């Protein structure tokens, strides 16, 4: 069975994402008279609200790598210092 559906769609292409090519958002039926500029701003906020999790994960990994490198440098310095005595 095929239904005739008339929906207003907002498609967002995001080439900066390494995972996703595009996002498709369907407007609610009572939101057909909203200005396009407002819709795009709301859509951008929605999409950007999803992506910070990826940034937090990357920041966490960078922090762990930095701590590991600092700890390794201190450990190597202690080993070299103790080898002279």
pLDDT in tens, 7-61: 777 787 875 677 778 888 888 888 778 888 888 888 878 877 765 555 566 778 8
Partnered with residue 23 across adjacent β-strands are 12
Q: What are phi and psi of 9, to 5 degrees?
A: -120, 140
CB atoms within 10 A of CB 47: 15
79 in Cβ contact with 55 (< 8 Å): no
Q: What is the C-alpha separation between 21 and 41, in angstroms, rounded? A: 19
pTM score, whole prediction? 0.46
Give start and end residues of each alpha helix (H) in 9-51.
36-50
């Amino acid at each position: 069975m095929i239904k005739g559906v008339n929906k207003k769609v907002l498609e967002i292409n995001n080439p900066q994402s390494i995972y996703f090519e595009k996002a498709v958002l369907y407007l609610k039926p009572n939101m057909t008279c909203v200005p396009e500029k407002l819709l795009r701003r709301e859509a951008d906020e929605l999409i950007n609200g999803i992506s910070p999790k990826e940034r937090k994960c990357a920041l966490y990994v960078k922090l762990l790598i930095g701590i590991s490198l600092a700890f390794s440098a201190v450990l190597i310095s202690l080993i070299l210092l103790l080898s002279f005595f």
